[in-house]
Amino acid sequence: MAKCNLCGKWLLFPSKFGLCDDCENFVILDLKNRIRIINDSERIIKTSNNPTTRLSRCKLLKEQIEHLLEYQRKGIDINKIIRFASGSSQSMNEYYNFIDGQYKEILEEKEDIDVFKKTKRKEIVNRNYPQIVRHIPERTKRLIWITDKNPDEFEVWPNMPFYKSDEYIEYAGIKISITIGQTNEPSLIFTGWPISRPENPENVEPLGYYPSYSNLNPQQRWRYLDWLYDISKPIDIGYVFLYYYGLERHLVMGNFEEAFEEILYLLKYHNHPSFKNYSTTALIISCYNKGKYELIPRIPYDYNNINSAILLFKAVKNIRLTPEEVIALSNAVGFKNKRYIKKYPDRFKKILSEKMLEDENMYGEHLLKRIDWTNSPKKAVITYANISFPSEARMPKINDIISNLDFRITIVDFLTETHEKIKKDFTQEKENKKKQI
């Protein structure tokens, strides 16, 4: 018998990656996110003319490669799972050494430039930080992470929950072992980093995936801090995510109530699909973990994006599925014949609602109440966007009701019976018309 390369569980039938099913799902999700950061960083390093931006992206890139090397050391062949945008055929160690060489070259370039800009940089920092931060509303000030001490001098930030390898944390009532080193809080504002007011804020280079304040150039930092004065203003969604990362940290272990209200406020003014999906899932799981069930009905989730987190909450709170949610689950449960859903959506929803009510009356309970969802397979769900969280906390394993066989069969039955009823009704209507002629 073989062992899972990640968790050590004994396996009768290991996957081609040498992992158990749970670890394979977790690793694939984690790798997809890390490769997206790597590909985005490679692009910025190649295209940016700002040595500070390129240097910070090299540093971020090295951190991600270190995570991948850790998987390799555990015997996981990540080359079978991932592909880089650059199409590199180098080994991971060669790739790391190449990026490390780039990092040193850019560092030398930056140090040469800094010699000439040192005085000007100090003036920028001293002149602008107090003025901009002073105008940020008190509500927002209480929620941002800001310091005048250089975070690079600390391996673990004293007042924030960062972790070292092999430590443990308590999360949602379970003990989690941290086996891979973490990065610093991306939203942390260090007042020693330079900021500069741009001549035209609209011309400032947009942020890439997974931004961090330390990686921004001086003009991007100014734009971010200026936006914090009124977070309802339209702006590149990267800045919204940057602020949101810090709010996620409050949801897990900080000022939960104010962070909850602030995220709802952001959702009101920034209707971006990725942001909405991340934030609503994080709010639901955080409320569930903290027992704040009464707050969940206020979360504006989109039934078209119903996921395992939303289903879990509805099952725990004994809340019925809506016809819209059942239709939204059609892809997930393998229902393919959507002709009537697309052509006659209102009629389909009306008949589906009747079918669901008939089912409830027959069994005496609605679907989510009568199935044993606690026996549903557990699946890692991307809950938090903040990449400084431990992977186990960022992607907790929850009961995946969508994978529950009884649930899937019943949803397919609802949709199939509704489809056949509409088909039968149309046939009858045609026959009635012929008789009238």
Residue 349: predicted pLDDT: 94
Q: Does the pLDDT at position 240 exceed 90?
A: yes
| Domain identity same for 23 and 116 | yes
| Domain identity same for 391 and 352 | yes
Q: Does the pLDDT at position 350 exceed 50?
A: yes
The band of 70, judged by pLDDT with boundaries at 50, 70 and 90, is confident
pLDDT digits (tens, 9 = 90+) for 300-311: 877 667 888 888
Residue 130 lies in a domain: no
Which range of 53-67, 113-127, 273-287, 385-399 scores highest in mean pLDDT? It is 273-287
The answer to which of 83-87, 141-145, 260-264 has the lowest mean pLDDT is 83-87
d(CA 374, CA 281): 20
The answer to which of 25-34, 114-123, 313-322 has the lowest mean pLDDT is 114-123
Quote the percentage of the chain above a pLDDT of 90: 27
Range of the domain at 175: 135-301
Q: Which of 301, 326, 342 is the last residue of a domain?
A: 301
| Domain identity same for 116 and 141 | no
d(CA 314, CA 407): 13
| Domain identity same for 91 and 200 | no
CA 330 to chain centre: 23
| Domain identity same for 79 and 176 | no
Residue 342: predicted pLDDT: 92
| Domain identity same for 115 and 143 | no
**Mean pLDDT in residue range 120-128:** 41
Q: Does the pLDDT at position 126 exceed 50?
A: no
**Mean pLDDT in residue range 369-381:** 87
**Mean pLDDT in residue range 200-229:** 89
Residue 131: predicted pLDDT: 63
Q: How many domains does the chain have?
A: 3
**Mean pLDDT in residue range 110-132:** 49
| Domain identity same for 337 and 228 | no
176 or 201, higher pLDDT: 201
Q: Which of 278, 301, 324 is the last residue of a domain?
A: 301
Tell me if 114 sits within 8 A of 121, measured CB to CB: yes
Residue 425 lies in a domain: yes
**Mean pLDDT in residue range 155-165:** 38
The band of 151, judged by pLDDT with boundaries at 50, 70 and 90, is low
pLDDT digits (tens, 9 = 90+) for 8-27: 777 776 666 777 877 777 88
Residue 178 lies in a domain: yes
Q: What is the mean pLDDT of the chain?
A: 79
**Mean pLDDT in residue range 195-224:** 88
| Domain identity same for 387 and 419 | yes
Q: Which of 86, 103, 124 is the last residue of a domain?
A: 124
Residue 184 lies in a domain: yes
Residue 322 backbone class (left: φ over 0; alpha: ψ -120 to 50; beta: rest):
beta
Which range of 53-67, 93-107, 154-168, 362-376 scores highest in mean pLDDT? It is 362-376
Which range of 171-175, 368-372, 386-390, 414-418 scores highest in mean pLDDT? It is 414-418
Q: Does the pLDDT at position 407 exceed 50?
A: yes
Residue 105: predicted pLDDT: 80
Q: Does the pLDDT at position 175 exceed 50?
A: no
Residue 48 lies in a domain: yes
Residue 14: predicted pLDDT: 64
Residue 118: predicted pLDDT: 44
**Mean pLDDT in residue range 243-266:** 93
Cα angle for residues 44, 49, 50 (degrees, 5° grid): 85
Cα angle for residues 168, 174, 177 (degrees, 5° grid): 25
Residue 166: predicted pLDDT: 39
| Domain identity same for 96 and 140 | no
88 or 129, higher pLDDT: 129
Tell me if 364 sits within 8 A of 357, measured CB to CB: no
Q: Does the pLDDT at position 319 exceed 80?
A: yes
Residue 223 lies in a domain: yes
Residue 102 lies in a domain: yes
| Domain identity same for 108 and 139 | no
| Domain identity same for 287 and 139 | yes
**Mean pLDDT in residue range 232-242:** 95
**Mean pLDDT in residue range 155-164:** 39
Residue 375: predicted pLDDT: 86
| Domain identity same for 184 and 287 | yes
Residue 109 lies in a domain: yes
The band of 173, judged by pLDDT with boundaries at 50, 70 and 90, is very low
253: closest CA among 145, 382, 378, 140? 145
Tell me if 311 sits within 8 A of 332, measured CB to CB: no
Quote the percentage of the chain above a pLDDT of 70: 81
